Structure 1
Amino acid sequence: MVQTHLEAPRLEGTAVIRNEPVQARSAARLTALLDAAAHVVHEIGYERLTTAMVADRAGASIGTVYRYFPDRIAVLQSLAARNAERTSGLALAEVSNPAHQHWVGALSAAFQHVVVAFRDEPGFASLRYGDTIDLRPSTGTPAMQAFADALFDALVARFGVDGSDAARTAFASAVVASDALCARAFRQEPAGDERFLEAGRTATVALLAPFWGTPAL
């Protein structure tokens, strides 16, 4: 098997932070602000979040919030970037796990990290990639596409499967379908409706099997 060094993609256009923290105290303060925003989003949705709510939840002044973020959209974009990068990093690392001898097992385990984030990460269900809150004209690759491309490239490198444009399109389609089915699974079930999660797994294999085959039984 080819061993690859995998790194979560930086998601262009999703994070707008005024002051990049360079000291531990500043980094901790930024983390606290984003954690507070995540809990507010989890409770009332991202549409109603305000910078005042973030400050109040974090026990900080409104000036502290504006030290890092110019407005509420920047808060949301930065939270989305953190959600996506955390999950992307875990999913990409899973591809390197030597326990996976076939792409099906590796991809299933990688997507399980997404399922866990839906279940356990406040705000993830609403802002996992941030595409829906990027109000500016698109200037780069959408976050979900960046995630799909990175995961596709990692699987091709690890397992030597078809890396053609047609296979990449099928993979991107599988990611979009799986994301939508995950969202549906967690709409009313905090633990996730297994019927929709399984449908996502089935759809992914069906889309990719013509290009990558399936494991022998």
Structure 2
Amino acid sequence: MTSDRLPQSDSTATAGEITGMRRAPRQERSEKRVTLILDTFAQLIDEVGYSAISLSLLARRVGMSGPGIYRYFDGLPAVARALATRNQERVFEAIVARISHRPEADWDEAVTDVIAGYADFFRTEPGFRWLRLGNIIDEHQDDAAETNRMIAARRVGELFANHFNVVPRPDFGRHIEVVVEVTDSLVARAFELSPEGDEFFLTESARMVVTYVGDYLERTRPAGSPGTPPKTPKG
């Protein structure tokens, strides 16, 4: 199982698109300040824990005043929501980058690769292990009708179906929700006690998801259709 980091992009959600922002910066200098606030907040989560972060501590580390932080955010929960939004966009863009070069027949390798890359966010992205996609702050961050994981499942499902030529049934989205829940839960469990991640839980996460998706494809693919064939997980 590969442990290569899913590639990240510096052009993820701009400050004006990030949920939790009070106002969108219109100048490059302001954009850099917002990025610095989010980066510093993420580092402080790892250093002292979310509950120990105060506005004065964040402002001091950033080199701004408290009112300067409030210029962009209503408070620390808003900063956390903005960081979660950035996490979501970075993860999704990374998934797109990793899947886009895969041929249709290699869907199982793509799934395994994406899970390994998601695990590397836990290893190297400051604050990610605690915050992840933002559920710990607000389960309905962007939409009252959908949880953060439901939105992630919808986006990933659309990407998977389009790239790997899957004709989704009405319950396809629910199955992708299962994939997202299993992946997020088991990968998080892998990092509860080990900073590098417990390989058992990481391997089992990939095996379970590949088996589950393969079973869905086998049950839903019409006989003789040119769609993505099911595979038996390796290892």
| CA displacement 1:130-169 (0-9 Å, x = unmatched) | 1221287961422222112111111111111241133322
Identity within the alignment, %:
29
3-state SS of paired residue (2:71): helix
Equivalent residues of 1:39, 1:122 under 8 A apart: yes
Distance of aligned partners of 1:100 and 1:84 in 2 relative to their CA distance in 1, 3 Å threshold? same
Equivalent residue, structure 2, for 1:64: 68
Equivalent residue, structure 1, for 2:34: 30
Equivalent residue, structure 1, for 2:9: none
Equivalent residue, structure 2, for 1:4: none
Equivalent residues of 1:162, 1:211 under 8 A apart: no
Runs of 4+ in structure 1 off by over 6 angstroms are 135-138
Equivalent residue, structure 2, for 1:78: 82
2:111 to 100, 107, 110: 107
Equivalent residue, structure 2, for 1:160: 165
Whole-Å separation in 1 of the counterparts to 2:94 and 2:144? 26
CA RMSD of aligned residues (A): 2.5
Q: Larger RCO: Structure 1 or Structure 2 (Cα < 8 Å, ≥ 6 residues apart)?
A: 1
Equivalent residues of 2:40, 2:58 under 8 A apart: yes
Per the TM alignment, residue 111 of structure 1 is displaced from its structure 2 partner at its CA by: 2.4
Structure 1: state its 5+ residue gaps. Answer: 1-7
Whole-Å separation in 1 of the counterparts to 2:42 and 2:83? 7
Distance of aligned partners of 1:84 and 1:150 in 2 relative to their CA distance in 1, 3 Å threshold? same
Structure 2: state its 5+ residue gaps. Answer: 1-11, 218-229
Equivalent residues of 2:190, 2:202 under 8 A apart: yes
Equivalent residues of 1:32, 1:58 under 8 A apart: yes
1:170 to 160, 175, 191: 175
TM-score, normalised on structure 1?
0.86
3-state SS of paired residue (2:171): helix
Structure-to-structure mapping, 1:92-171, within 5 angstroms: 92-98=96-102, 101-134=105-138, 139-171=144-176
TM-score, normalised on structure 2?
0.80
Equivalent residue, structure 2, for 1:181: 186
Equivalent residue, structure 1, for 2:208: 203
Whole-Å separation in 1 of the counterparts to 2:233 and 2:210? 14
Per the TM alignment, residue 206 of structure 1 is displaced from its structure 2 partner at its CA by: 2.3
Equivalent residues of 2:21, 2:82 under 8 A apart: yes
Whole-Å separation in 2 of the counterparts to 1:188 and 1:165? 39
**In the alignment, structure 1 residue 46 sits paired with structure 2 residue 50:** yes
Per the TM alignment, residue 31 of structure 1 is displaced from its structure 2 partner at its CA by: 0.5
Give the aligned length: 208
Distance of aligned partners of 1:105 and 1:31 in 2 relative to their CA distance in 1, 3 Å threshold? same
Whole-Å separation in 2 of the counterparts to 1:136 and 1:155? 23
Equivalent residue, structure 2, for 1:5: none
